[in-house]
Amino acid sequence: MNPVIVSLGKNIKYYREHLNMSQGELAECSDLSIQHISNVENGKVNLSMQAFVKICKALKCTPNHLFANVLQVENKELQEVSISIERVSPDNRDHLMKCMDALIRTYEKFN
């Protein structure tokens, strides 16, 4: 099996489970079959661009998130932070980023 396809499938499964979504629910939201979702998550099939976009929309994430760690070293903590930030509305995202920056600067000052 192709390691890139396997890693992409694992990321799709990770995001689906993070949303407490079943394979059936993802299949329904993305207009794909449950069998196809299972094959994708297990790295058995190569995704078409159309199916990939449907899955991104169903999981409410960007392609960057699904490709996270596919071509780089895995870092689950950063992936979880990224997922959380994506769930915040764009209006509040800037405020959240400023708060995180202030928190990091404070942390660095005392450590």
Residues 73-101 have pLDDT tens digits of 456 677 677 777 777 787 888 888 888 88
Q: What is the mean pLDDT of residues 12-27?
A: 94
- Alpha carbon distance 37, 42 (integer Å): 9
As given in the structure block, the two tokens for residue 61 are 């994430």
Q: Which residues contact 59 (CB under 8 A, 6 or more apart)?
A: 12, 15, 16, 19, 21, 26, 66
pLDDT category of residue 111 using cuts at 50, 70 and 90: confident
At residue 39, the pLDDT reads: 97
The count of structural domains within the chain is 1
The range of the structural domain enclosing residue 18 comes to: 3-110
User: What number of residues does the chain have?
Assistant: 111
CATH number, position 79: 1.10.260.40
pTM of model > 0.85: no
- Alpha carbon distance 79, 65 (integer Å): 7
